[in-house]
Amino acid sequence: MSKRVLVVLLSAVAAVIAVRGLGAWQGKPAAPGAAKPPGTTVRAATVVGEVVDLPCYLEEGRRGTDHAACAVGCLKGGAPAGLVDARGRLYLLCATRGKSAPDMVVDYAGKQARVKGTLLSRGGLTALMVDSVGPVGK
């Protein structure tokens, strides 16, 4: 494993740990009305964008249909998943229903998808806790 890939993976793990600290890990969101850490925004959202595997996207900018087969392999291998919207904003995709986010979105790797969930933002990182994934236009 190259040093760059290792750095990307460790960064993704750190991001997941940061999101976990927000009280929304593995389907256990903070209780309604619970205090949020300062600087945290939380809201329900639907985001449309392309599903990417973070190591290839962050290291080399790889995405699209030409990269879909590689992205599927990376996501099935446990690579963290992301969503790139039409404006180029990147969202870290995290699990909420006891299933890993990569498992939830792997069928949309390299394709556009509509992802519904809870949007969390803190310290420059934006994550989407995935409730459902579907095709665009439905």
Q: Is a pLDDT exceeding 60 seen at residue 71? A: yes
Mean pLDDT computed over 75-104: 92
Phi, psi of 95 (to 5 degrees): -80, 155
Percent of the chain with pLDDT over 70: 70
Per-residue pLDDT at 36: 63
- Give per-residue pLDDT as tens, 101-131: 989 999 999 999 999 999 999 889 999 999 9
Query: What is the separation, in whole angstroms, between the first and last Cα of the chain?
Result: 39
Does the pTM surpass 0.85? The reply is: no
Which of 74, 122, 125 has the alpha carbon at shortest distance from 100? Answer: 74
